[in-house]
Amino acid sequence: MKPKRIILIRHGESEGNVDKTIYSIKPDYTLTLTDTGIQQAQETGQKLSEILKDESTFFYVSPFWRTRMTFEEIAKSLDSDKIDWREEPRIREQEWGHLRSTQINNQINEDRDSYGTFYFRIPDGESGADVYDRVSDFLNTVYRDFEKPSFPENVIIVSHGMTIRLFLMRWFHWTVEHFETIANLKNCEIITLIRQDDNKYELDEELNTHSVYHQYQRPINFKK
């Protein structure tokens, strides 16, 4: 049964969001929520409680500590008998390689912006295209889950900014150029795909956009 809603949530504010130097001393997956991030997740749980009411819900959660903590805080506001969840490594953050200094990370960001965020592969890490491939594989699992007669009425995906954007790109078949104009969600921001009468999904609101920093524009020679 296709769920009536697919809700995407970026994790709450983490140590890395407030202190970029921490990436040189802690692996990315171990970063935890700040006090503000915990509060954001709790407030998100309260919002979801109002949206979901007594409907059943299934969570797919990135295994990174900040996403799991976000889910745990959200779940406190929900009826435990109405939710189930699964840790899903394929929706983890884009991999940035090994421990890096702030200076190196800043340089990688500059290089990625000037090259294109989808195609640029981070040294010892991933490109956006790599994340797109594993998100595509994840969707195969999601589609099979939807076929189960008893599948819950709602799906919530707790993940990361880039991964959520790539999920949407894959779901809606965006071009690379369109993907690169979409901005990351804010910490604990919610966006919802709502099932329509034709069983297709539409976003409940427009997404924020941002500037593309590289100079490359594909020549358009074909129009439908």
Nearest to 59 by CA among 84, 89, 91: 84
Distance CA 70, CA 112 (A): 28
pLDDT in the model for residue 222: 66
pLDDT at 19 over 80: yes
pLDDT at 148 over 80: yes
Q: What is the pLDDT of residues 51-68, one digit of tens each?
A: 999 999 999 999 999 999
Distance CA 88, CA 138 (A): 8
**Active-site residue, 11 included:** yes
Q: What is the pLDDT of residues 182-198, one digit of tens each?
A: 999 999 999 999 999 99
Q: Span 122-146, mean pLDDT?
A: 97
Partners of 190 in beta bridges:
9
Four-point Cα dihedral 204, 205, 211, 212, nearest 10:
20
Indicate which residue of 73, 88, 93, 180 is catalytic: 93
Going from the N-terminus, what domains does the chain have, and what CATH number goes with each? 5-203 (3.40.50.1240)
Partners of 83 in beta bridges:
57
**Active-site residue, 93 included:** yes
Query: Residue 210 carries which side chain, given as an amino acid letter?
Result: H
pLDDT in the model for residue 218: 82
